[in-house]
Structure 1
């Protein structure tokens, strides 16, 4: 069916400003770009990694300005070299097609989950901590890694506020709940949702990487239990629990938000299943009616949740916008500076990063699942895992019917690499930074960027190597 295009006034104005070539240039050939265009992206990554260590006070007050500076370090030279109109198309596409829907979904999940208070004083013993992580892993595939993380991170911190050593609890929470647990449905993690929109079946990931996911989760949960038991036996708990016992035991406040959480899930599903010919053209970027309805609905749900939730629930949760603001500001810079990097990767073997693309193909021309697993995973550790998934989805042919059947092993490797290895760094997946910010606001001294990577290299990387031999050969 021919798409019916509706041009709002803003888009009509854009059509007068931009030539037809520019209006369709949201996707551009990165094969002719110099690798130097990746410097702003590398700069923002190094800033996130180093400035909290070298200049913590400066970073705390000015991280938004640093992110904006790196974004301008890309946009201004890009506009000077390729024209203001062309740069504008890229800016609008990154914001409208990717960043804004991304932030709207995260904000809705953050707000709704922040309106649910798990009442009562849990005792952070090894068995209970392991159970919370296991429950979070299950919830992550149904309410998203962001939703599950925001729902459980506060009660987990509160349960362990009488523990002397608790950093490992938060680190494993990021490994399990904020990443690996979301591997089984398109609701779990943004890369899988993008695959769903491209035509991958809703239950395909659950059917094809179930054993890989269960293996990763089982090993991590077992390892966590023994580490947590070691610290618990060695150090015990503080003489006075900072969280007093409450009458009535464990319960939920703000339970109406569970219904709103169901609304978030329904809107995300609707945007995937609903096919509409109505498309709005916004400065050269097409915005479909289902996606627009989803985003407006998510904003409405966030507003309703915030207004309906009593101030006491927010106070009990120590709910604040700081973690969400940090993610929004940092990822704005990441989504903009990543534009040339993704374009150069999409250029394939003829592009500046042709060696990476060539590495995932065997001598006989067939895709190598093990290399797809690692290439997708390593890049997802430092790039946003959603566009990285799309790059290698397209590198493998981009045909969902073929990838779900003939090349099922390759698609499984891409899916697993994008989701699992998002846990390798704080910036591999948005909930990682949110959990870190919430933990630090509660007084937990989280590892630095490289300190966290020391944990992931020691625990996750050997597990991924073992998974390669077991599942992706």
Structure 2
């Protein structure tokens, strides 16, 4: 704690000249040092190390740790830049970014938790591969979060008697929670932001289909052989070939609520009444965003009230996963504020050396660099604003990017969506899946352990995709 406090003092003393440059009561990314990113690094390091070195402490105090790192940014910011700048940035992030984010996750968590697939599915290689394939296809229709919340519990039940099963859920994160959401703007937030910026709905489907097909096919085939190896190694002898398959859906009315969630999100993207609700400190909430969030909360409430308790009991529904995600991502959303400000400063910010990697000296875009740099930052930062940064860096003209700069937009889109699978925090469903699995007694890899899996499997795959699509 003393060392972290020293970080706060260092941040406070290092930037006495910035306060007068905070034009419009906002952070000016071009005037921020990378030292402002230390609290963000701190919370990521805590997420990575505490479950390994102090799991019991982490289990009971993860919310306090997240709050501590948020304070390590907010206190120096208030002292150095002023309370107005700090309050404005925090208010903006909470109202326009964090609360919409957590409300969407909450509604999907509650609604999907009221849907139960009941049957005698046994997690053999063929069944597991089929479920991953179905989830991968569904992710583009109901979003990576929706598909993950819908299918993770049936997959857990199908594999609960297997001793070696963590690889099933690692590949589930790869495919269902990330790569599967590639084909429509509904699939993943970065693509939805592109849709709002003018990228055609069908462009996403046609452009992203080839790399998504290659990546999914490779991963599904690889998964099948890995799962078959573990299945045989366990000596599984369930008489699955003689059992008739029985599968039914309980809580079917929640499908209607799930469709309502999708419709509400889509409505907020296409309905623009140009009405903003002022909330003080220069922050105005668009009416369409308010309507969307009210609908999402209402659907979550209706699902909770109309779903028989027995279904949630059978689903082992618990609030712990969403609570952990809410607390940790609150800390992440706060500590990431200066990092995103530096990124938005582009060539004028402290991360300018990274941004110069994506263009040749004569100004031509380097697609491979766009793919890897967008992906690398999306692995640790929020992939939606990262997408916007590189979208704007490439010119920000949707018609130009869909035309002459087709491959550049493809590289940005694929990097943001695919490489969210590189870490637990690369995409919101990743951590949710991890939390639900651990709640059900499955020993998931640590933060770094997961990265060993993603590094060993995904990075070679992304290298192949680079050679095929982004040379």
TM-score tier by shorter-chain length is over 0.9
Q: Give how far 1:240 is off.
A: 12
Aligned position for 1:326: 324
Pairing partner for 1:251 from 224, 248, 251: 248
Q: Give how far 1:439 is off.
A: 0.8
Sort the Cα spacing of 1:23 and 1:240 in 2 relative to 1 into closer, same or farther, 3 A.
Answer: farther
What is the TM-score when the length of structure 2 is the normalising length?
0.92
Aligned position for 1:34: 33
Aligned position for 2:341: 343
Q: How many angstroms apart in 1 are the aligned matches of 2:447 and 2:245?
A: 41
8 Å CA contact retained: 2:121, 2:245: no
- Give per-residue Cα distances to partners, 1:26-61, cap 9 Å, x unaligned: 5x4211111100000000000000010011111000
Q: Give how far 1:23 is off.
A: 9.6
Pairing partner for 1:302 from 300, 316, 321: 300
- Give per-residue Cα distances to partners, 1:444-466, cap 9 Å, x unaligned: 11100000000000000000011
- Give per-residue Cα distances to partners, 1:326-354, cap 9 Å, x unaligned: 11111111111001001111111221111
8 Å CA contact retained: 2:104, 2:296: yes
- Give per-residue Cα distances to partners, 1:71-106, cap 9 Å, x unaligned: 110011011111101111100111111111111111
User: What secondary structure sits across from 2:31 in the alignment?
Assistant: coil
Aligned position for 1:125: 124
Q: How many angstroms apart in 2 are the aligned matches of 1:186 and 1:25?
A: 33
> Structure 2: which 5+ runs fail to align?
1-20
Aligned position for 2:287: 289
User: What secondary structure sits across from 1:101 in the alignment?
Assistant: helix
8 Å CA contact retained: 1:162, 1:237: no
- Give per-residue Cα distances to partners, 1:133-161, cap 9 Å, x unaligned: 00000110000111101111111111011
User: What secondary structure sits across from 1:391 in the alignment?
Assistant: helix
Aligned position for 1:415: 413
Aligned position for 2:259: 262
Q: Give how far 1:377 is off.
A: 0.3
Aligned position for 2:159: 160
Q: How many angstroms apart in 2 are the aligned matches of 1:395 and 1:46?
A: 29
Q: Is the counterpart of residue 182 in structure 1 residue 172 in structure 2? A: no
Aligned position for 1:471: 469
Q: How many angstroms apart in 1 are the aligned matches of 2:377 and 2:263?
A: 31
Q: Give how far 1:405 is off.
A: 1.6
Q: Give how far 1:398 is off.
A: 1.6
Q: Give how far 1:24 is off.
A: 4.8
8 Å CA contact retained: 1:107, 1:302: yes
Aligned position for 1:9: none
Aligned position for 2:77: 78
**TM alignment of 1:43-442, pairs within 5 A:** 43-237=42-236, 249-282=246-279, 283-442=281-440
Aligned position for 1:4: none
Structural RMSD (CA): 1.8
8 Å CA contact retained: 2:78, 2:85: yes
User: What secondary structure sits across from 1:149 in the alignment?
Assistant: helix
8 Å CA contact retained: 1:162, 1:238: no
Q: How many angstroms apart in 2 are the aligned matches of 1:387 and 1:173?
A: 24
What is the TM-score when the length of structure 1 is the normalising length?
0.92
> Structure 1: which 5+ runs fail to align?
1-20
Aligned position for 2:9: none
8 Å CA contact retained: 1:142, 1:188: yes
User: What secondary structure sits across from 1:31 in the alignment?
Assistant: helix
Q: How many angstroms apart in 2 are the aligned matches of 1:362 and 1:248?
A: 57
Q: How many angstroms apart in 1 are the aligned matches of 2:250 and 2:393?
A: 47
Q: Give how far 1:239 is off.
A: 8.0
- Give per-residue Cα distances to partners, 1:279-306, cap 9 Å, x unaligned: 1122212321111111111010011011
Q: Indicate the structure whose relative CO is greater, using CA pairs within 8 Å and at least 6 residues apart.
A: 1
Q: How many angstroms apart in 1 are the aligned matches of 2:334 and 2:389?
A: 16
Sort the Cα spacing of 1:347 and 1:22 in 2 relative to 1 into closer, same or farther, 3 A.
Answer: closer
Q: How many angstroms apart in 1 are the aligned matches of 2:326 and 2:42?
A: 18
Aligned position for 2:8: none
- Give per-residue Cα distances to partners, 1:355-414, cap 9 Å, x unaligned: 111111112101111101000100111111111111111111222222222212111111
Q: Could you tell which deviates more after superposition, 146-155 or 398-407? A: 398-407
| Count of residues in correspondence between the two structures | 448
Aligned position for 2:455: 457
